[in-house]
Amino acid sequence: MIIIAVPAASTKTFGYRRLEILAALLNGLALWAIVGVILHEAYIRFKTTPDVAAPGMIAIAAVGLLVNLLSIYLLHSHKDENINIRGAFLHVVADSLGSVGALAAGLIILYTGWTLADPLVSVGICLLVLWSSWGLIREAVHILLLGVPAHINYNEVQNAILDHEGICCLYDLHIWSIASGQEAISAHIVVPDGFTEQKRLLQDIVTTLRERFRVNHATLQIEESHNMKNDRSGMVCRIDGAGALCPYSP
């Protein structure tokens, strides 16, 4: 999506990078909408079984399957690059399942005349599509709600920051994804009054976050006052081994 590459502006400080998450969510919801249509058609076929031209059904399904298998081959090696490509991959997989189902139902009808195979196979495919697309929708919603990325452990990040010498406590630690593979962290870090190595401490923490957790976007505020922490709500605060250096005692 070319629009994702549009530079950030004063009104959109992250640019349009999150559009890929919205696109993935819409892709997953589109799959659910397609499932709804297929289930409706299957319900009609259960009630009034129509005549099915099995040979034509098999031919069309075979051609569709070949095209979808080619698409799967092209997308498979890139499906883990970002959530949007994974959504496109799942969409093609769903189409492939539809082709496989239509092919199987056509063969059953051709050799047995059992036309109920068509709606039954359709229902089975719908269940598989719902199961496979649920993970995509859940991940997209998780990112949009600024959830902690699945590959990052919140407590490990908290402890990794607190392990640096000179930190009294840490609060308002937030970890989220701007887009796929673009994680960000923000936190308030309290140091003793008169602490003179703030620049060194900040550089060490940024290096730790980059090397251990692959986070390149860190916004860290170093403070010498515990009063700022006390004026906030919803904080996450711990005292590490350097707590004895701080005149403040929680």
Instruction: Find out whether 248 and 168 touch, Cβ atoms under 8 Å.
Output: yes
Residue 26, Cβ density class (10 Å: 0-12 exposed, 13-18 middle, ≥19 buried)? middle
> Which pLDDT belongs to residue 56?
84
The answer on pLDDT for 121 being more than 80 is yes
Alpha-carbon Rg for the chain in angstroms: 27
Token duo for residue 31: 């799959």
Q: Which residue has the higher pLDDT, 98 or 50?
A: 98
> Which pLDDT belongs to residue 12?
75
Q: How far is CA 120 from CA 109, 208, 223, in A?
A: 12, 54, 64
Residue 189, Cβ density class (10 Å: 0-12 exposed, 13-18 middle, ≥19 buried)? buried
Is residue 172 classed as helix, strand or coil in its secondary structure?
A: strand
pTM recorded for the entire structure: 0.75
Of 72-81, 217-226, 231-240, the least confident: 231-240
Is residue 206 classed as helix, strand or coil in its secondary structure?
A: helix
Cα separation, 242 vs 169, whole angstroms: 9
Highest mean pLDDT among 95-99, 210-214, 228-232: 210-214
Q: Which residue has the higher pLDDT, 181 or 43?
A: 43
